[in-house]
Amino acid sequence: MRASTGDWRGLRSGAFWVICVAICVICFRQANTSEWIGSFPKEWTFGIADQVNTAMNWLVPKLSGPLHVVSTILGFLLNVTRGVLAWTPWPVAFCLFVIVAHRAGGLPLAVFTVVSLAYVAVTGYWERSMNTLALVGVAVPLSVVLGVQAGILCYRYKWLNSVMQPLLDVMQTLPAFAYLIPILLLFGFGPVVGLIASMIFSIPPMVRNTILGLQRVPPEISEAGLICGCNRRQLLWWVQIPAALPQMKIGMNQTTMAALSMVIIAAIIGGSDDVGWAVLNTMRKAQFGPSLIAGLVIALMAMLIDRISLNFAKTETAAPADARPGRWRHPHGLAALAVIVIILPPSLFIEQLHYYPREWVWDFTGQITTALDTFIASTSGALESLKRAGLFFFLLPLRIGLDQAVSPYSWGIEFTPALRIAYAGLIAAGSALALGSGSRTGAIFIAIWGVLFYYGTIGIPWPVFVCTIAMLAYAAGGAGTAALALATMIFILLNGLWEPAMFSAALCGAAILLAFPLGMAIGTVAAEVEWVSKAIRPVNDTLQTMPQFVYLIPFLMLFQVGEFTALIVVIAYALVPAIRYTEHGLRSVPVASVEAGRAAGCTEGQLLWWVKMPQAVPEIMLGLNQTVICALSMLVIAALVGTRGLGQQVYVALGKADSGLGLIAGLSIALVAITTDRILQGMSRSSKQALGL
């Protein structure tokens, strides 16, 4: 029964492909004569953005009362936390952090903490770091409590879960810049905005991990609880939550990291004197020395917080059987107590110990700036040509097509008809070759990219784009995914955002086209060569904990403001998941099948390509999925260094305080991300099924 349905869908899908290709051909032929095919007519769009603004104007006064209460409470919490952290003498805070780090990760982490904190203090960022920490310190507990509650409710009520999942998707993919303005309007100006923004972004991982943890509690443990006569409350709090705790601690770690990265981003609206603001401010003034120093502060903070919370998440409950006797049972508690008793009182009376003195700040901005300037000056020729090459030979063709991009000015040659035919022949030959070696997907892939490079995302008539993507979505995930893809594209079209969307598509497409194969290659090497894997792991860990903001600094220095910089930044951010998933996929191929391959006499190369790679495909697909999501989420940040597209729209809206435009453009990005996610998850699933996993 099921098989026959599958065949039927296969047949219908074949018919759909024919129709799709037909539509594409007609559109390309008619694009020059029928205006509306070439570009979506303005008259057909209607501005939801204005309606949103009107709605906001109507809504804000109505809600301002109760929301003002919320923002007062949050503001109070924030001020208290901030006050305590600012009042605490820095040597005391320093020692307490080190003790916590030692408790979490032993001596290595303690040493790392000492070095990092010393850097923060010496560079004069102690106070601003504490301000950032205060925001995180308020956001995380609130997010965790709300997230756990929501997670429990979702676990208990299935209908709520099905409502919550898409909401969580939107919360995680909607760029923060898009909702900063509405929050600002609703809650008023101030650091509370950053707090709420970071909570919106950091609640989802807590909810997801709570649900996951509860779902993964072995049924026997829940049954054991039931048979002991637990009522619902006892079952939840005495059995299921404790059993789900390891997973929930992972959620806490993710929530903390999300909160930190969003606190940094939210600094863009100002109002709080924290590290994020320092980075942004110096970056805007093109003071690369200071921004590099401040960026490193953020990076160190991120690494510290991540390592400490992750170590706490991973330590299991200690076995009292091997605990030390008597008073040595809690050495860390004792040490903390000693710090408070011995160091705190004198510190309060000695000015230098209470607040980190300015005279002790070691200002090496000058040296750094000089060094950077010489470095950039010496490499600028090479960097400049790299930039030009990337723009003219790669990014531009992808956006406006070889058709437009090849000109004597940029390429030094004319795109003659003969060259056009040669290009078409090349693509056709590539497709045929792929088809000949039995890979239909490969053939379709080459053909699509061939067409894309010829016309560019801007040059392709919109109906062609809509048709092809909808078809891909249908093939990958069925009717539901296709409907989602169509809805997304229609939303973008109707809001008149098609052109910026295509700019973004070109940028993201280019980034993914470079980042994914590169990541796969590195991941493959890491899976095969042990020392590469060991060397690359800490680098990946570090890159993944880094708030997106930090990525901008080095590339901005090297390549200045511009689209190429944006491309490189997106690539840098999207590279890590490609590496990780590829390595993981290749390494989790069952040992039995690798041994079978060896026993059959495979060379290492054959083993990789014929045995491991095919089985790693589902995992690598998920890696591609993450790569795309990362690229999209970086889009808005990249807009800071100058791109055109949806990211820029969001950023412009932020500048003009235009809630409507910001939300609509942001929502477009979120919808694109969610659609891509569904399509690639679908592909991963079907390749998994094909392997019978």
List contacts with another protein (CB under 8 A): 218, 220-221, 223-231, 234, 238-239, 242-243, 245, 316-317, 319-321
User: What minimum distance in Å lies between the beta carbon of 316 and another protein?
Assistant: 8
The Cβ-side half-sphere exposure at 576, using a 13 Å CA radius, reads: 19
User: What minimum distance in Å lies between the beta carbon of 220 and another protein?
Assistant: 3
| 119: CB partners within 8 A, 6+ apart | 296, 297, 300
Nearer to another protein, 243 or 435 (CB): 243
**Chain centroid, CA 344 distance in Å:** 41
User: What minimum distance in Å lies between the beta carbon of 84 and another protein?
Assistant: 32
Nearer to another protein, 242 or 271 (CB): 242
Report how many helices (DSSP H) and strands (DSSP E) the chain contains, helices first: 30, 0
Nearer to another protein, 238 or 364 (CB): 238
User: What minimum distance in Å lies between the beta carbon of 312 and another protein?
Assistant: 15
**Chain centroid, CA 97 distance in Å:** 28
User: What minimum distance in Å lies between the beta carbon of 313 and another protein?
Assistant: 14
Q: Which amino acid is at 549?
A: F
Token pair for residue 662?
């910001």
DSSP symbol at 610: I
Q: Report yes or no: 463 and 23 within 8 Å, Cβ to Cβ.
A: yes
Q: Report yes or no: 253 and 310 within 8 Å, Cβ to Cβ.
A: yes
User: What minimum distance in Å lies between the beta carbon of 225 and another protein?
Assistant: 8
CA pair distance 668, 672, nearest whole angstrom: 6
CA pair distance 403, 454, nearest whole angstrom: 6
User: What minimum distance in Å lies between the beta carbon of 426 and another protein?
Assistant: 52
User: What minimum distance in Å lies between the beta carbon of 163 and another protein?
Assistant: 22
DSSP symbol at 692: T
Nearer to another protein, 313 or 470 (CB): 313
Nearer to another protein, 239 or 252 (CB): 239
Q: How many residues does the chain have?
A: 693
**Chain centroid, CA 281 distance in Å:** 23
User: What minimum distance in Å lies between the beta carbon of 229 and another protein?
Assistant: 3
CA pair distance 195, 370, nearest whole angstrom: 37
Of the candidates 428, 457, 422, 459, the one whose C-alpha atom is nearest the C-alpha of residue 443 is: 428
Nearer to another protein, 5 or 437 (CB): 5
Q: Report yes or no: 308 and 105 within 8 Å, Cβ to Cβ.
A: yes
CA pair distance 147, 195, nearest whole angstrom: 15
User: What minimum distance in Å lies between the beta carbon of 213 and another protein?
Assistant: 12
User: Three-state secondary structure along 493-513?
Assistant: HHCCCHHHHHHHHHHHHHHHH
CA pair distance 168, 152, nearest whole angstrom: 15
Nearer to another protein, 251 or 666 (CB): 251
Nearer to another protein, 243 or 335 (CB): 243
Residue 621: Cβ within 10 Å count = 22
User: What minimum distance in Å lies between the beta carbon of 317 and another protein?
Assistant: 6
Question: Could you give the 3-state DSSP secondary structure of residue 339?
Answer: helix
User: What minimum distance in Å lies between the beta carbon of 628 and another protein?
Assistant: 37
CA pair distance 43, 502, nearest whole angstrom: 19
User: What minimum distance in Å lies between the beta carbon of 235 and another protein?
Assistant: 9
Q: Report yes or no: 489 and 434 within 8 Å, Cβ to Cβ.
A: no
Sign of the Cα pseudo-torsion (656, 659, 661, 667, in order): positive
Nearer to another protein, 47 or 242 (CB): 242
CA pair distance 259, 543, nearest whole angstrom: 17
Nearer to another protein, 220 or 604 (CB): 220
Nearer to another protein, 251 or 682 (CB): 251
| 369: CB partners within 8 A, 6+ apart | 287, 288, 289
